Chain A
Amino acid sequence: MDADIFLILLQDGVVNGAIYALLALSLVLVFAVTRVIFIPQGEFVAFGALSYATLDLGRTPRSIWLLLALGAAATVCGLWTQRRTLNRTALAMLLSETAVFPLAVAGLVLWLAPLKLGVAVEAILALAIVTPMGLLIYRVAFQPLAEASVLVLLIAAVGVHLALVGLGLVFFGPEGSRATAFSSANFTLGPLSVPGQALWILGFTALLIVGLYLFFGFTLHGKALRATAVNRLGARLVGIPTADAGRIAFGLAGFIGALSGVLIAPLTTVYYDSGFLIGLKGFVAAIVGGLVSYPIAATAAIAVGCVESFASFWASAFKEVIVFSVIVPVLLWLSLRSGAPAEEE
């Protein structure tokens, strides 16, 4: 192995790691706020990527029907849970979120998809389809269970994951897709040839990390999320609506997943079931950060990407084994450091 190969592998690892970092951040965020280990995170990546690729071909992605169905289900759920407290403002809020917005997005997609307006519009449409799914899934599947134990929430997450994978097969078919890159530019840097798309990925990851930092540090909503994460009951006592916090967290998760999908769709072929493995690698990184620390999770994600890249060079047959084994010493260290395992509340 010479320096050239080392650099190329490092580049590959960092770019993949950036995607894992986005997912790890989102997993940490969702877990901290709602205690849900959000296994379907990867499905948003696949849905985002495949919706984008379908739009890229000038066709209407069938995921809009899922968005509408989820919207309808969330409307029913919302009306039922709020049946005693519903007034005109609350009803308008609920309907604008669960019915008007999905319908508007679907209408827009049906109108704009055949026009092929270029990658920017297509990317935004793909984001608009998938982002509200996160929020609506929270309303349908997790909000009614918000007080349940971590285990129950995990099982619900597995259920959502299985349902989404099956729907992905129905919507997008068994074969994969690729999309056009944001820019066809290619930069040569010594032995490295850096595709423009890789820079977009790194740029968006950095932007998102800074954005999340500002959001949590300096906005009221962000602080409310942090308060909910630290102590759910306490947050409620001081008047923070914890259900809203959950919705924001899931909406962000949907957005980050969809964005990751749109970013990787031009670099690799994405399948309806690709998301799980990508999400799992983000999860490894999130675990390294103890499911609480954003900077550690992001750094660990880059490391996971690099381990993967080098493992595929040296021992490609054992690549996944090596990547997922990384988690073992970390878990050992975490459990040794914290002494006896903490009891579930």
Chain B
Amino acid sequence: MIRIRAFAVIAALLTFAATALAAEPVRIGVTIAQTGPAASLGIPQRNTIALFPDTIAGEKVEWIVLDDGSDATKAVANMRKLIDESKVDVIVGSSITPASLAMIDVAAEQKIPMITLAASAKLIEPVEGSRKWVFKAPQSDSLMADAIADYMAKAGVKSVAFIGFNDAYGDGWLTEATRALGAKEIKLVDTERYARTDTSVTGQVLKAMAAKPDAILIAASGTPAALPQKTLKERGYTGTIYQTHGVANADFLRVGGKDVEGTILPAGPVLVAAQLPESNPIKKVALDYVQRYEAKYGAGSMATFGAHAQDAELMLAAAIPVALKTAQPGTPEFRVALRNALEGIHDVVLTHGISNMSPTDHSGLDTRARVMVTIKDGSWVLLP
């Protein structure tokens, strides 16, 4: 009797295990900068992830989100924890380049695909060695720098002064701007740097103005980018001021006020989704995201940084069904299949552009992923 009962229990357990195995969800591990200096990127990303449904293409998914505090060491620790303890199939993150750079080697060592939400082209170029496992959601700085240089050349700008962050963001932009401006034969007459939390940039601004440039390019992100611009206006600078896509959130407009009117910057199309022409396929996807985000977090709360997380989800939505054809989630084979499926993404419409991955291009975005935008009456306006 006892033996029969034990047998029944074992049978029941086995059936249970079998169903559990069949219902194994796709686990997506996320490490983003919800605190620390890059919190203005990580917080909209976290908010975006909270909007995601728990199925992708009919398949159950589980999002596990950790905070890395904008710190590279913490990001790597989070990644290992996600892989070892949560058994994730893919990693999304981190929000910034230094943390993402540190994560690349772990991705290759653990053979797990990773979609970074940081911008630098260094993360995916060239696609070889460890970087074979890394994909990138945001536009590369080089794409945006080219857009600025094109626009400046058309506007007849001959000389530019650069005021940038004293960190990886500023470094990346200085390299890209030097190259892009050089290609258009625009002279870079002065380079100034400042820190995110600086309370005064008078010295830098005076030096930049003393070089008498036709235009000034500020390479900074979020509200700290408003400080040099306000100081420039205070000191009576009248030339055009260019910013980068790092400033594309409502807080920049709030802090900048009337001093940032007329600023020109490149941005992802999602920033001006409502103003895109109907013929643009990005419009529908981007508007859908903006509406969902603002329905939950309030009108005008959308930041383009959060949309990168949405794009990572859209990429996974395209890749997961393909990968599921060859392997089960939770297995090493599935990770490889998912990597291959991400590399095979073709004409997938994202909020920031249209992605076409290839074995030599893990960003997949082209010039459709950028628009030129200006600030008029306290809001973003698409430039033709």
Give the B-binding residues of A (Cβ under 8 A): 5, 8-9, 12, 15-16, 19, 166, 169, 173-178, 193, 264, 267-271, 273-274, 276-278, 308-314, 316-317, 319-320
Cβ B224 vs Cβ A316 within 8 A: no
B223 at the interface (CB under 8 A from A): yes
* B303 (CB) vs chain A CBs: closest residue: A175
Contacts of A9 in B (CB 8 A): 202-203, 206
Contact A309 B207 (CB under 8 A): no
Task: Identify the closest chain B residue to A278 (Cβ).
Answer: B199
Closest Cβ–Cβ distance, residue A126 to chain B (whole Å): 18
Q: Closest residue to A281 on the B side, CB-wise?
A: B199
User: Contact at B43–A173, with CB atoms within 8 Å?
Assistant: yes
Are A268 and B199 touching (Cβ within 8 A)? yes
Interface string of B209-225 (1 = CB under 8 A from A): 01000000000001110
Inter-chain residue pair count (beta carbon < 8 A): 98
B35 within 8 A of A: yes
Whether, in the assembled complex, B249 has its beta carbon less than 8 Å from a beta carbon of chain A, the answer is yes
Interface hit among B12-20, B82-90, B148-156, B187-195: B187-195
Q: Tell me, yes or no, whether B276 is within 8 Å of chain A by CB.
A: no
Contact B199 A175 (CB under 8 A): no
Q: Does B227 lie within 8 Å of A269, measured CB to CB?
A: yes
Check A174/B40 contact, CB under 8 A, given A8-B206, A9-B206, A269-B226: yes
Q: How many residues of B contact A (CB 8 A)?
A: 32
Chain A residues with CB under 8 A of B39: 169, 174
8 tightest A-B CB contacts, nearest first: A312-B203, A174-B39, A313-B203, A175-B251, A174-B40, A12-B202, A176-B223, A268-B199
Cα(A299)–Cα(B224), bound, Å: 29
Does B203 contact A273, Cβ atoms closer than 8 Å?
A: no
Residues of B122-156 contacting chain A, CB below 8 A: none
What are the residues of chain B within 8 A of A310 when measuring CB–CB? 203
Interface class of chain A by DSSP: helix
Report if B359 contacts A (CB, 8 A): no
Distance in angstroms from B38 CB to nearest chain A CB is 8
**Are B40 and A313 interface neighbours, CB within 8 A?**
no
Q: Find out whether the CB atom of B199 lies under 8 angstroms from the CB atom of A264.
A: yes
Residue in A193, A271, A316 whose CB lies within 8 Å of B194: A316
B197 to chain A, nearest CB (A): 5
**Does B200 touch A at the CB level, under 8 Å?**
yes
Contact at A311–B222, with CB atoms within 8 Å? no
Q: How far is the CB of A312 from chain B (nearest CB, A)?
A: 3
A-B CB contact pairs (8 Å), 21 listed = A5-B206, A8-B206, A12-B203, A15-B200, A19-B199, A174-B39, A175-B223, A175-B249, A268-B198, A268-B227, A269-B226, A269-B255, A312-B194, A312-B198, A312-B204, A316-B207, A317-B166, A319-B166, A319-B193, A319-B194, A320-B166
Q: Which residues of chain B are near A169, meaning CB under 8 Å?
A: 35, 39
Interface residues in B231-262 (C-beta closer than 8 Å to A): 234, 249, 251, 255
Q: Which residues from chain B contact A278 at a C-beta distance below 8 Å?
A: 199
Pick from B199, B206, B207: contact of A16, CB below 8 A.
B199
B182 within 8 A of partner (CB): no
Cα-based distance from A165 to B6 in the complex (angstroms): 57
| Cα-based distance from A278 to B195 in the complex (angstroms) | 12
Determine if B157 is an interface residue (Cβ-Cβ < 8 Å).
Answer: no
Identify which of A175, A178, A277 contacts B40 (C-beta below 8 A): A175
Take A268-B200, A269-B224 as given contacts and tell me if A313 and B206 are in contact as well, using a CB distance cutoff of 8 Å: yes
The verdict on B37 contacting chain A, using a C-beta distance below 8 Å, is yes
CA distance A166 to B39 in the complex (A): 11
Judged by a CB distance under 8 angstroms, whether B201 is at the interface is yes
Q: A320 touches which one: B192, B195, B207, B226 (CB < 8 A)? A: B195
Tell me which residues across on chain A come within 8 A of B204, comparing CB atoms. Answer: 312-313, 316
Tell me which residues across on chain B come within 8 A of A271, comparing CB atoms.
196-197, 223-224
Chain A contacts of B198 at CB under 8 A? Answer: 268, 312
- For the complex, give the distance between the alpha carbons of A274 and B199 in Å: 8
Partner of B197, one of A175, A274, A311, A316: A274
Per-residue A-contact encoding for B23-67, CB less than 8 Å = 1, 0 else: 000000000000101011011000000000000000000000000
A270 / chain B contacts, CB cutoff of 8 Å: 199
A277 touching B203, Cβ below 8 Å: no
- The answer to whether A166 and B199 touch (CB under 8 A), given A175-B40, A175-B223, A268-B227, is no
Q: Which residues of A contact B227 (CB under 8 A)?
A: 268-269
B255 touches A175 (CB 8 A): yes
Q: Contact check, A309 vs B223: say whether CB atoms are below 8 A apart.
A: no
A166–B194 CA distance with the chains assembled, in angstroms = 24
Contact indicator B199/A316 (Cβ below 8 Å): no
When C-beta atoms are compared, the residue in chain B nearest to A11 turns out to be: B202
Assembly CA distance A178 to B39 (angstroms): 18
15 A-B pairs besides A175-B249, A312-B200, A317-B193 with CB distance below 8 A are A15-B200, A174-B42, A174-B43, A264-B199, A269-B226, A273-B197, A310-B203, A312-B202, A313-B207, A314-B203, A316-B166, A316-B192, A319-B203, A320-B166, A320-B195
Known: A175-B255, A320-B195. A309 touches B224 (CB 8 A): no
Q: How far is the CA of A316 from the CA of B203 in the complex (A)?
A: 8
Select which of A174, A274, A309, A320 is within 8 A of B203 by beta carbon. Answer: A309
| Closest CB in chain A relative to B202 CB, distance in Å | 4
Q: In the complex, A16 Cα to B193 Cα: how many Å?
A: 18
- CB < 8 Å neighbour of A177 from B42, B222, B255: B255
Q: Which residues of B contact A309 (CB under 8 A)?
A: 200, 202-203
Q: Which residues of A contact B251 (CB under 8 A)?
A: 175-176
The chain A residue with its CB closest to the CB of B202 is A12
Among residues 71 to 97 in chain B, which have CB atoms less than 8 Å away from a CB atom of chain A? none
Residue among A310, A311, A312 having the largest count of chain B Cβ atoms under 10 Å: A312
Closest to B201 in A: A312
A274 to B196, CA, bound (A): 9
Question: What separation, in Å, do the CA atoms of A88 and B224 have in the docked complex?
Answer: 52
Knowing A268-B227, A316-B207, A320-B195 touch, does A8 contact B40 (C-beta < 8 A)?
no
